[in-house]
Amino acid sequence: MYIEQAFKCLHDWWRYLAGFVIIIFASQIGTIPLITAVIFKELSSGAGVENLANLDQDTLLSILDSNLTLFLMLLSFAIGLLGIYFVVRFLHNQPFRELTTTRRKTDWGRIFFGFGLIAIVTTVLTVVDYYSNPEDYVVQFNLVPFIILAIIAIIMIPLQTSFEEYLFRGYLMQGIGVLAKNRWLPLILTSVVFGALHVANPEVDKLGPLVMVFYIGTGFFLGIMTLMDEGMELALGFHAGNNLIAALLVTADWTVFKTNSILKDVAEPSTGFDIVLPVLIIYPIFLLIMARRYKWTDWKGKLFGKVEEPLKDMDHIEIGENL
């Protein structure tokens, strides 16, 4: 069972607390290049450093070229991912594969399936919406900036999404699970915290607090996927596919990824049922597709059951002894 993997390693509560602090610290170190670049650009333009304190996040991120901004933003997640690897291997003495899956090796077929599922659906829906409502989009394709974007996105976005998956569906899911001795608490906590960390995204300012239903619902969706499949492969692929297609295909002035994508959405975003539509309809359909493909069973046990430490191997007993 996926959470029980943590019993094989050093799983004291203080290790998870210290590990979490180290991981967050590592990711914050990764923001230094972005901050430095912004300050340098402002100073070179003649502006004073004191002016930076009065700028909002969107303005700060618009100071640099969008491709450079994207790269530097994603760099912090890449360094955070290195922090997770360091903590898992050296603080917990856990093979990284056991944080990824219960299978003998990482199932790349599952990663590509999760990636392909969301990539195909998102692309099809976007194309249909583009032809149905062409006035809502502007084609902004520019070959050279797009190629640079594609290189950055293909390399860096999977690192960003992997950081989030390994932190929430991996490290914290296992850590909270072995400490709480159940599955429902880590599922709830990791999903809510995952969603809450998106509260600073510009989408929240634009769409209002209702969009948090989408972020928290996505956390539950990825958590259910991980627990039911006994591994993170589907979640890793799905999350990477979602963010990569979003960065390459469509951008908007009010999204966290302002990129040199093919299309720009200029429509006034909906703040109604469209926000919760994926959580209530699309995500359940995705789960049913995965359940059918991978033959998931025992939903109650895997999502709400107890987490028990496996019995340690008994010493070898000769056949016939004590008979």
Side chain identity, residue 172: L
Residue 315 lies in a domain: no
The residue among 190, 163, 169, 168 whose CA lies nearest residue 82 is: 163
**Residue for token pair 């050093």:** 10
| Residue-wise burial string across 149-180, b where 16 or more C-beta atoms lie within 10 A, e elsewhere | bbebbeebbbbbbbbbbbbbbbbbbbbbbbbe
Q: What are phi and psi of 32, to 5 degrees?
A: -60, -45
Token duo for residue 44: 């070179």
Q: Return the pLDDT at 63.
A: 76
Residue 125 lies in a domain: yes
Residue 20 lies in a domain: yes
The model's pTM is 0.91
SS3 labels along 131-190: HHCHHHEEECCCHHHHHHHHHHHHHHHHHHHHHHHHHHHHHHHHHHHHHHCECHHHHHHH
Residue 311 lies in a domain: no
Residue 316 lies in a domain: no
d(CA 261, CA 248): 5
Q: Return the pLDDT at 318.
A: 41
Burial class, 69, CB count within 10 angstroms (exposed 0-12 / middle 13-18 / buried 19+): buried
Residue 321 lies in a domain: no
d(CA 68, CA 146): 12
Q: What is the DSSP-derived secondary structure letter of residue 201? A: S
- The range of the structural domain enclosing residue 63 comes to 3-304
Local confidence pLDDT in tens for the 323 residues of the chain: 899 999 999 999 999 999 999 999 999 999 999 988 888 887 776 665 566 655 556 666 667 788 999 999 999 999 999 999 999 999 999 999 999 999 999 999 999 999 999 999 999 999 999 999 999 999 999 999 999 999 999 999 999 999 999 999 999 999 999 999 999 999 999 999 999 988 878 788 788 888 899 999 999 999 999 999 999 999 999 999 999 999 999 998 888 778 999 999 998 877 777 788 889 999 999 999 999 999 999 999 999 999 988 876 444 434 333 33
d(CA 307, CA 315): 24
Please give the radius of gyration of the chain, using alpha carbons only, rounded to the nearest integer: 22
Contact 96, 88 (CB under 8 A): yes
The residue among 262, 281, 276, 259 whose CA lies nearest residue 207 is: 276
d(CA 296, CA 82): 32
Residue 9 lies in a domain: yes
pLDDT in tens, 134-167: 999 999 999 999 999 999 999 999 999 999 999 9
pLDDT in tens, 73-120: 999 999 999 999 999 999 999 999 999 999 999 999 999 999 999 999
d(CA 268, CA 274): 13
Token duo for residue 301: 């046990």
Number of domains in the chain: 1
